[in-house]
């Protein structure tokens, strides 16, 4: 199945939240949706999931219009919001079973579907617990189970890894990769760009409601092969090091990430060698200098400016 977002536009009064957004992906692919807060990601995903209507444009699942026939489209889509919204005195099993009924599942088939997604998302052991006592990670698993109970062909996930501990994020990535291998189309927004790089076949980058770049990850990275990305660790004063990096030739987008400085070097490795020499001449105590692979975070920092609506 091919999912096509076609010239989508959404206005809220004088504010244009989504401005002529177009992209596509298909079954078996995981596509990341990347952008700063307020870029229009959630609005776009809500329209894709039939929870909002566009001012103009459409979303097509093959030849099925989400705008013209939302009832049929809903049977093909599973939506995972950024937060589990539910009655807190409801148990996990009752919650998932309620949505199985909403999808029209009945009798033994409904029971089988509920048991299956509870096992797959590893919530079977907490099926009798009330939702209000669950951790953030377990709530996200329940939300994923709810989205999967109707066996949708498309999964749309809005910041599913937000607030999860490292183990829960790894387990979520593994589940999504397995679902993609089973043929589902997955569209996921996240601010954890390094993790998206590991699992995504492609990405859509949005800012101020407009698409800056969209496509398969390999193609996006290939465009930037003329620039090499480097990581540097130093015992020098971070502010002084950043000041000097900003003044160095051939450097683009220097930034601090934890205890490292990341930046792009134009041209050949000879320029990187000259840069390292200059830093040492300025008495910076370099303890690590290495070339890294360009990833979604590098692309994001390269083409966005941090603007919001």
Tens place of pLDDT per residue across the chain (309 aa): 999 999 999 999 999 999 999 999 999 999 999 988 889 999 999 999 999 999 999 999 999 999 999 999 999 999 999 888 767 789 999 999 999 999 999 999 999 999 999 999 999 999 999 999 998 889 999 999 999 999 999 999 999 888 788 888 888 889 999 999 999 999 999 877 777 777 889 999 999 999 998 988 777 776 665 567 889 999 999 999 999 999 988 888 899 888 899 898 887 788 889 999 999 999 999 999 998 866 677 677 767 766 655
pLDDT of residue 232: 94
Q: Note whether 241 and 278 are within 8 A (CB).
A: no
Q: How far apart are CA 13 and CA 17, in angstroms?
A: 10
At residue 243's C-alpha, the angle toward residues 240 and 247, to 5°, is 140
pLDDT of residue 309: 56
Provide the pairing of β-strand 185-189 with 154-158.
parallel
Report residue 243: phi and psi, to 5°: -60, -45
pLDDT of residue 299: 73
Q: Note whether 28 and 185 are within 8 A (CB).
A: yes
| φ/ψ bin of 79: left (φ > 0), alpha (ψ from -120 to 50), beta (otherwise) | beta
- The model's pTM is 0.79
Place of tokens 């062909």: 153
């Amino acid at each position: 199945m091919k999912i096509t977002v076609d010239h989508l536009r959404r206005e809220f009064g004088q504010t244009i939240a989504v401005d002529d957004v177009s992209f596509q992906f298909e079954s078996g692919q995981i596509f990341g949706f990347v952008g700063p807060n307020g870029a229009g990601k959630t609005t776009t995903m809500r329209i894709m999931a039939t929870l909002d209507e566009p001012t103009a444009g459409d979303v097509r699942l093959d030849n099925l219009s989400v705008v013209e026939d939302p009832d049929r489209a809903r049977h093909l889509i599973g939506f995972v919001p950024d937060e589990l919204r539910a009655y807190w005195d409801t148990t996990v099993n009752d919650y998932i079973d309620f949505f199985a009924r909403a999808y029209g599942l009945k009798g033994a088939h409904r029971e089988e579907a509920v048991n299956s997604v509870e096992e797959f998302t590893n919530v079977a052991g907490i099926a009798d617990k009330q939702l209000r006592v669950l951790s953030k990670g377990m709530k996200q698993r329940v939300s994923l189970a709810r989205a999967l109970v109707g066996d949708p062909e498309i999964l749309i996930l809005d910041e599913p890894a937000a607030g999860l501990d490292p183990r829960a994020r790894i387990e979520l990535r593994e589940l999504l990769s397995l679902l993609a291998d089973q043929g589902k189309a997955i569209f996921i927004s996240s601010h954890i760009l390094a993790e998206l790089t590991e699992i995504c076949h492609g990405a859509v980058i949005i800012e101020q409601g407009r698409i800056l770049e969209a496509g398969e990850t390999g193609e996006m990275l290939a465009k930037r092969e003329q620039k090499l990305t480097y990581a540097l660790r130093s015992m020098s004063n971070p502010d002084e090091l950043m000041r000097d990096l900003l003044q160095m030739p051939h450097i683009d987008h220097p930034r601090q990430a934890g205890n490292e400085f990341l930046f792009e070097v134009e041209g050949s490795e000879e320029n990187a060698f000259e840069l390292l020499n200059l830093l040492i001449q300025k008495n910076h105590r370099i303890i690590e200098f290495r070339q890294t692979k360009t990833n979604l975070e590098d692309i994001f920092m390269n083409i966005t400016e941090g603007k919001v609506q």
